[in-house]
Structure 1
Amino acid sequence: MRKTKVSNVVEHFHMKVLSGEEGLGREITVTDLSRPGLQLAGYFPHYASERIQLMGISEIEFFSTLSREVRLERMRLLMQDNTPCLCVSRNQDVAPEMIEVSNEKNIPILQSPLATTSLVSKLTNFLENKLAPTSTVHGVLTDIYGVGVLIMGSSGIGKSETALELVKRGHRLVADDAVEIRQTQQGQLIGSAPELIQHLLEIRGVGIINVMTMFGAGAVRNAKNIAMVVRLELWEEHKMYERLGLDEERFKLIDTEIPILTVPVRPGRNLAVIIEVAAMNFRLKRMGYNAAMTFSRRLTDTIEDVDSDIY
């Protein structure tokens, strides 16, 4: 299970810690947020205590109408052992009872200048990125005409050399050898390179080169949505490879399926050009034009015309 810490939220959003500093190491394990209006009114069934508790103007003003005894009672019920923190929007002042219980239970109270709606949106996006399911695969990720293409295949088949040729043709490298992939809530797959090998490319016989230093900042990017996979494999004489492109094979990464093409490798084939054309063809399909389907319809129409002439 992916997790992050309250201290990361404080650092990312430059929040002010009002109390409970000893609890900044508390873990956040869910992306959902909670606005505890019902809980402040005394209704605690179905309370999602594991979420960040977010209080806006309505919650703070309602809390101020309660007596001191009720405030302490509600705060002690609100701040449970698995509650990561409590966030207050618009830099609002908080009641002394909130500070008291916060320090008692070491649950931080954070103050943000953002409006409540904006804070909800930004916090949710941040947590979705931090807690998204991840996986690491062996391959090369490139950005070809805006299409994220993950090149996979056995070690030594020529993935890095193909990526180098693609970079020379004006495309961009995202990651070589190890590609870290995270899946967003919308099912998108975002690939990036581990920090240690970012912008590096390994070419057998030459060694490791820094693509950004050699080709410029325009030859690399830090992350890219993965739209398709190209699998390189050694040419097998008697294997049937796709000739028309009518059947689309799918490949599952984490929980998302994306198109995959199998490209046979043998001397004389320019893999960079083939993958470049595959990316352009993928873009055309997304724009509504499928050359294989168009050809199939033309062929069917021609056969029907010939049959009608005969009979």
Structure 2
Amino acid sequence: MRTTRLGRTGPAVSAIGLGGLPLAGAYGPAQDPAGIVAHALDLGVTHFDTADYYGRGVGEELLGRALGGRRDGVVLATKTGIIHRDGGPPGLDGSPAHLRRACEASLRRLGVDRIDLYYLARIDPRVPVEDSMGALAELVAAGKVGRVGLCEAAPATLRRAHAVHPVSALQTEYSLWERHVEPEILPVCRELDVTLVAYRPLGSGLLAGRRTDPRTLPPGDFRHRDPRFAPENLGRNLELAGALTALARQAGAEPAGLALAWLLAHEGVLPIPGTLDRAHLAADLGAAELRLDEAVAKALEELLPPGGPAGERYPPGLLATVDRG
């Protein structure tokens, strides 16, 4: 597995990481989370991503146990700042007090004494980002956090945060068909030497041709609420995914491999696909060795132009929390 760096001076990590949302059951029951983590380690993955709100702490507990005695060389990332409620959209809390409490709780659940990369998962409009970053900087100084990241922050917010303490990574959605980062966010990341960590790089499976029929998704699968899987949007999105599959066949590759290789060809981008399937994991990681020739790269750009998919990224309540200024 080839490697990249987190930020300007950060640790070397595998060029493709493993997203931890599926481990917590967001895409249906996780039958063998420890097995998929062990398989990822065997295949060279050294970057694992989770959050304290994945399964309300279950995701961290599962990942911590799964890593077990194989912690050496692993760069472990988790996130906080999203507060689940029993009804309605989630709340946000970026206050220093919450960040301190949440860090201690994550350390316990993960079974570690330091979080390598700790993200503020959303910008809390009630708390100046400078205050949130100040608290995260204190956690770094205390040795409880190695590096700091932000999620879904607008370019101006990223600059403000970076002025308080270096931001090593910005996590947001980025894929062949979700390219909102390209005009402003990605250029600012490169200017500041911030790694862009791309979640949902395969469009929750659509770009890989996996589990595309909502009727086959298990109860509790997040995609039942994903606008891009809604009946009025799914047909158009399956057309786009089908065109990608056809192009991949012509190139002698898997669609997931092409989609991830396209991301890896962009400087400073680290995709973190998530899966519970070992064969899918191996196929995804194979993208690290796939080099796109100019003709295939051009065909991908023409096939799935910016603004391609039908439907918003999230339901309205969640959509209001992303890319905050």
Same fold (TM over 0.5): no
Structure with more of its chain in helix, by fraction: 2
* TM-score, normalised by the number of residues in structure 1: 0.26
Q: Rg bigger for which structure? A: 1
Higher relative contact order (CA 8 A, sep 6+): 2
